[in-house]
Amino acid sequence: MSTTQPIKSVKQLEQFKKYYQEVSPDSRNYALIILGLNTALRISDILRLHIADVWDFRQHCFNRHIEITERKTGKNTSIYINQEVRQALSACHLTSLDPGDALFPSHKYKGSPLSRYQAYRIIKKAAVYAGLPEHISCHSLRKTFGYHAWKQSVPPAMLMDIYNHSSYQITKRYLGIDQDDKDQVFEKIRL
């Protein structure tokens, strides 16, 4: 059985993000990918988001955090909305929509959010363009966040908390650490 992988290569990650921004422009699809990469949320939680979850209509600005109860764990979580997510969502013209509208609406079924399968197809299309291996899926966005955070020295205990994992072993699997990653550590450490 194949395991979903994070996108490890920075070059491929840039190509992946570029697909819906430059090659086949689609602000909704681009925002979906950017939000997924920058929040570490599961796709089931992303697809349940409404515009009011990210935009404050009274203050006319982005919320500071996405506040949700995770579908899988039932735990409350607060996710900071960083500049990359704000920029990607800005292109979606949220202020002209209703606060209760799906953040990532289906083009086919008015009033409904994207389906999980459609989100998968969106991600796969960008992955193929970027030359990524076949083991890329919706969950790759979540895993990519953790992998690159870990590579930037975010402590695994912090990632475990962000992911709401119950054990370090689960977080370790998410990071997709392989022999090349271990070799880089040995290469860098020169005592």
- Which of the residues are catalytic? 42, 72, 139, 142, 165, 174
> Which residue in the block uniquely carries the two structure tokens 């709401």?
164
Backbone angles phi, psi at 61, to 5 degrees: -155, 170
Distance of alpha carbon 91 from the chain centroid: 17
Backbone angles phi, psi at 68, to 5 degrees: -140, 165
Tokens for 44?
A: 């089931």
Tokens for 84?
A: 């990359």
Distance of alpha carbon 6 from the chain centroid: 11
Q: N- to C-terminal Cα distance for the chain?
A: 40
Compute the distance between CA of residue 106 and CA of residue 88 in angstroms, rounded to an integer.
Answer: 18
Strand partners of residue 79 = 66
